[in-house]
């Protein structure tokens, strides 16, 4: 073999070796099926974990049944939340929420419901450009019962200067301190007032009354943060309550029984003086109670029954209720002959038809009717609005926050009170609205 042939064979071997080495190198740099890199020794290098981490408020792993009024949020660290982040209710509907300006926190902006399963969904992008899922579930608190409340005054209503604000609960409130702390009353101009808890009446009653009569034109706002609030023994508020109303003119009825008349005073001046007849007073049930009554409703027509007095479904006109024991200021043609000179009624204040209509047109919810000169005082036994029988120290002592709630039991309607039927011209009580989240 010539020297040239031997040189060619050796060169060819070198080329083949180089090719072989190149092929091996290509294999060493290839990726495995799962995407991790394969080393020259045939082992895999695992892909790094995402740097972004997700946290939930409250943490579903630590709090199994959060209060629906809790702050609910999802937060990302070392990344940003994507626009698809959301909280879904059990119907698959997204709950309202807001994404922070830095895109790191999404916070729920509406109250959630009781005993509802919610699901966090969406994703976040980490600083390493890896996507991480948002995925968590929780179920909100399931109360043993829910407490509803009705207000006696409606939004935008104009009331008289003696009107109390009444919250009537549909069951007993055992933690009255917690509930009272959740109630805020603001007035313009500033007016001194206090909550008091009156006797149970198929549920608890909280009344807010002023120390003195309201000043005419006072604006009143009340807010009760009762939804999500434990009222005691696992009973929670069914909804928040709010109301805004105004106080109208200052109209007071001066009703001195021995005068056989009523004097209607508006803003300090006599508006009308009307002959009348008060309760005869021979029996306790026929005594018009002395004390500050409050106009609570009025009817142009109604039918009254009083079995104790022996009458049923008697048609009366222009009746203004002043207490819940059956006391009205109303027309009674049968007593016109003695109106202004003698007291012969079963406890109501009787007027002529014209006088009753005249007074009826001026009366509004919350007007005070100050009865004097009879032998029995208005009391809690007369039910409904008897707030003004208490002096101020006694009233404030009935606040739960003073530690002296009233535990007496006063029926809303005494068992022997006249029964009423007819169409009311008074506004209906205002129910509260439930959350929608």
Residues 336, 240 within the same domain: no
Residues 171, 77 within the same domain: no
Question: In the structure encoding, which two tokens stand for residue 435, read together?
Answer: 């959350």
Residues 240, 257 within the same domain: no
Domain span holding position 85: 53-140
Residues 205, 117 within the same domain: no
- Asked if residue 68 is part of any domain, the answer here is yes
- What pLDDT is recorded for position 431? 54
- Asked if residue 402 is part of any domain, the answer here is no
- What pLDDT is recorded for position 305? 84
Among the candidates 140, 168, 198, a domain finishes at 140
Residues 343, 358 within the same domain: yes
CB 276 within 8 A of CB 342: no
Residues 201, 311 within the same domain: no
Among the candidates 374, 389, 404, a domain finishes at 389
Residues 296, 373 within the same domain: yes
Residues 279, 357 within the same domain: yes
- What pLDDT is recorded for position 27? 40
- Asked if residue 186 is part of any domain, the answer here is yes
Residues 174, 293 within the same domain: no
- Asked if residue 297 is part of any domain, the answer here is yes
- Asked if residue 374 is part of any domain, the answer here is yes
Residues 233, 216 within the same domain: yes
Residues 256, 243 within the same domain: no
Question: In the chain, how many domains are there?
Answer: 3
- Asked if residue 404 is part of any domain, the answer here is no
Contacts of 301 (CB under 8 A, 6+ apart): 315, 316, 317, 422, 423
- What pLDDT is recorded for position 436? 44
- What pLDDT is recorded for position 396? 97
- Asked if residue 343 is part of any domain, the answer here is yes
Alpha-helical (H) ranges within 285-377 are: 353-360
* CATH assignment at residue 258: 2.40.440.10
User: What is the rounded distance in angstroms from the CA atom of residue 150 to the CA atom of residue 170?
Assistant: 8
Closest to 317 measured CA to CA, from 302, 334, 304? 302
- Asked if residue 433 is part of any domain, the answer here is no
Residues 266, 350 within the same domain: yes
CB 111 within 8 A of CB 228: yes
**pLDDT tens per residue across all 437 residues of the chain:** 545 445 444 444 444 344 344 433 444 444 444 444 444 455 566 778 999 999 999 999 999 899 999 999 999 999 999 999 999 999 999 999 999 999 999 999 999 999 999 999 999 999 999 999 999 999 999 999 999 999 999 999 999 999 999 999 999 999 999 999 999 999 999 999 999 999 999 999 999 999 999 999 999 999 999 999 999 999 999 999 999 999 999 999 999 999 999 999 999 999 999 999 999 999 999 999 999 999 999 999 989 888 887 888 899 999 999 999 999 999 999 999 999 999 999 999 999 999 999 999 999 999 999 999 999 999 999 988 999 999 999 999 999 999 544 443 333 444 444 433 333 444 445 555 555 45
**Catalytic site positions:** 330, 348
């Amino acid at each position: 073999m010539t020297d040239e042939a031997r040189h060619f064979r050796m060169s060819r071997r070198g080329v083949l070796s180089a090719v072989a080495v190149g092929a091996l190198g290509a294999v060493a740099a290839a990726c495995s099926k799962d995407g991790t890199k394969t080393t020259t020794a045939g082992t895999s290098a695992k892909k790094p974990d995402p740097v972004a981490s997700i946290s939930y408020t409250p943490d579903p792993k630590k709090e199994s049944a959060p209060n629906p009024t809790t702050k609910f949020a999802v937060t990302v660290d070392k990344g940003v939340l994507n626009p698809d982040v959301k909280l879904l209710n059990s119907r698959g509907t997204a709950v309202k929420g807001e994404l922070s300006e830095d895109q790191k926190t999404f916070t729920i902006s509406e109250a959630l419901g009781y005993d509802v399963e919610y699901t966090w969904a969406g994703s976040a992008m980490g600083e390493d450009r890896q996507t991480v899922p948002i995925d968590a579930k929780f179920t909100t608190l399931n109360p043993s019962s829910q407490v509803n409340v009705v207000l006696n005054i409606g939004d935008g209503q104009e009331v008289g200067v003696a009107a109390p604000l009444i919250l009537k609960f549909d069951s007993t409130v055992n933690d009255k301190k917690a509930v009272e702390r959740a109630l805020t009353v603001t007035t313009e101009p500033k007016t001194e007032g206090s909550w008091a808890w009156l006797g149970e009446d198929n549920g608890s009653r909280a009344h807010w009354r002023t120390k003195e009569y309201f000043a005419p034109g006072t604006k009143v706002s009340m807010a009760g943060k009762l939804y999500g609030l434990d009222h005691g023994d696992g009973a929670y508020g069914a909804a928040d309550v709010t109301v805004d109303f105004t106080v109208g003119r200052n109209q007071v009825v001066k009703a001195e029984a021995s005068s056989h008349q009523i004097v209607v005073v508006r803003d300090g001046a006599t508006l009308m003086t009307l002959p009348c007849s008060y309760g005869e007073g021979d029996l306790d049930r026929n005594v018009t109670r002395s004390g500050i009554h409050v106009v609570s409703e009025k009817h142009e027509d109604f039918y009254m029954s009083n079995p104790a007095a022996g009458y049923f479904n008697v048609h009366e006109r222009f009746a203004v209720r002043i207490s819940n024991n059956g006391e009205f200021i109303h027309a009674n043609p049968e007593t016109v002959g003695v109106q202004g000179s003698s007291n012969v009624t079963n406890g109501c204040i009787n007027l002529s038809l014209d006088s009753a209509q005249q007074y009826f047109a001026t009366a509004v919810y919350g007007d005070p009717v100050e009865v004097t000169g009879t032998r029995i005082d208005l009391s809690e036994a007369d039910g409904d609005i008897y707030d003004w029988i208490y002096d101020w120290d006694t009233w404030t002592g009935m606040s739960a926050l003073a530690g002296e709630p009233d535990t007496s039991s006063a029926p809303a309607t005494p068992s022997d009170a006249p029964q009423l039927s007819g169409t009311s011209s008074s506004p209906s009580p205002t129910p509260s609205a439930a959350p929608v989240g």
